[in-house]
Amino acid sequence: MRFSYSIIRLASLAVLLTACQQNKGNKEAAKKGPDSAAVFLLRKDTVNKQITFPAELIPLERAEIFAKVSGYVGTLKVDIGDKVSKGQLLAVLEAPEAIANYAQANADVQTARSRYLGSLDAYKRIVNAAKVEGTVAAGELEKAKSLMMADSAALNAARSKTNAFAQLKDYLTIRAPFSGIVTQRNVDPGTLVSAGTPKPLLVVENISTLRLRVPVPESYTAANTGTPVINFTVDAQPDVTYQAKLSRKAGALNLANRTETWEFLFTNSNNQLKSGMFANAVLKLGRNAPTFLVPSSAVATNLEKRFVIRLKDGKAEWVDVRNGINLGDKIEIFGDLSVGDTLLTRATDEIKAGTALVSKFPRT
């Protein structure tokens, strides 16, 4: 009996102790309240950054010269590295059939001209004779006129054919389209060439001025360069800095890599640089007006969106943003934000929208 009574007393004591502990925990939770979070006030600031982009040097002009007619390379006047002037003779092709066709066309013109002059003279005589009534029948007059007109048309056709063969004959002489330098030679005297040859006979480039083409990522395309002149270096001369001036922008993005091509011109007066060289272009980018800059940790990204967390009326609120220029420790953002908004210094998707938080500003 005494043993049963002791068990009941122990059970009552355990229940009482558990209740006290629960009440203590509830009081501590109520006393603790919402969590605090480090925050800052959103401000606008000037954005300026110096970024290095990979670039490429290409010639101002480049022409791949192909044969327009079939023939053999008779004479080759230039080789790689030779400087040429506009209109200078580069090569002469030999095509005996083209020469023969031109000679035949010339002979056809002479024959057609003789026929036309004969029919024209006959037509004029009949016209003069027809002035005396009853001398020439009306049908004879029309017949002479038709023959004269047919011979005139044949003469014009022969002349057009001759002009066409003359043009083909001119294609046998290959001349430089502009002043520059020969950078490729893919034929030798005696090589058979035609309009369908896959490789060009020669390649001529104008490298007196080089185009420096820089692919600029989409997020930087709206930035202001500040000055049209930029510095760049090349791998062959890493210790030398060159300057180029902005000439034009593509005005559209390359869909393959989401970049816009910016083209700068470099005066290559002493031919110190070569086309095809890779370069490192240094661009100083900025905005025309101040924009929002936040710590990089204030922007969170998940599978669905990129956002910052704004604290409004003590509750967390997700605000979608788009990134701009990345300054390393800070990043430019765009979104439905206002100056003076309270943002969390470290955003994470673990803090859900609507979570109660207490602002914790940094000590000044």
pTM of the model: 0.68
- Is the pLDDT score of 109 beyond 80? no
Are both 153 and 195 inside the same structural domain? no
The answer to the question of residue 104 being in a domain is: yes
Are both 118 and 234 inside the same structural domain? no
The answer to the question of residue 78 being in a domain is: yes
User: Higher pLDDT residue, 118 or 5?
Assistant: 118
- Enter the DSSP assignment of 356: B
Are both 163 and 185 inside the same structural domain? no
- Is the pLDDT score of 208 beyond 50? yes
Are both 56 and 85 inside the same structural domain? no
Are both 307 and 243 inside the same structural domain? no
Residue 134: give its domain's CATH number. Answer: 1.10.287
- Is the pLDDT score of 240 beyond 50? yes
Contact predicate 231/242, CB 8 Å:
yes
Range of the domain at 134: 96-171
Residue 308: give its domain's CATH number. Answer: 2.40.420.20
Are both 107 and 211 inside the same structural domain? no
The answer to the question of residue 18 being in a domain is: no
What whole-number distance in Å separates Cα of residue 66 and Cα of residue 197?
A: 7
pLDDT in tens, 255-312: 999 999 999 999 998 889 999 999 999 999 888 888 999 999 999 998 889 999 999 9
Domain count, the chain: 4
pLDDT of residue 234: 95
Are both 243 and 179 inside the same structural domain? no
pLDDT of residue 347: 92
pLDDT of residue 12: 57
Residue 222: give its domain's CATH number. Answer: 2.40.30.170
Q: Nearest Cα to 224, choosing from 290, 291, 284, 292? A: 284
Are both 85 and 188 inside the same structural domain? yes
Residue 131: C-alpha distances to residues 125, 128, 136 (Å): 10, 6, 9
Q: Of 254, 286, 318, which residue constitutes the final position of a domain?
A: 286
The answer to the question of residue 236 being in a domain is: yes
The answer to the question of residue 88 being in a domain is: yes
pLDDT of residue 20: 52
What whole-number distance in Å separates Cα of residue 20 and Cα of residue 15?
A: 9
Are both 274 and 252 inside the same structural domain? yes
Q: Of 150, 171, 192, which residue constitutes the final position of a domain?
A: 171
Are both 185 and 87 inside the same structural domain? yes
Residue 88: give its domain's CATH number. Answer: 2.40.50.100
Burial annotation 51-89 (CB, 10 A radius, 16+ → b, else e): eebebbbbbbbebebbbbbebebeebbbeeebebeeeee
Contact predicate 265/247, CB 8 Å:
yes
Are both 248 and 302 inside the same structural domain? no
The packing angle between helices 138-170 and 96-129, to 10°, is 160
Task: Compute the average pLDDT of residues 68-74.
Answer: 88
pLDDT of residue 8: 53
Contact predicate 294/57, CB 8 Å:
no
pLDDT confidence of 99, banded at 50, 70, 90?
low
The answer to the question of residue 14 being in a domain is: no
Tell me the three state secondary structure of residue 196: coil
Q: Of 286, 302, 326, which residue constitutes the final position of a domain?
A: 286
Are both 280 and 210 inside the same structural domain? yes
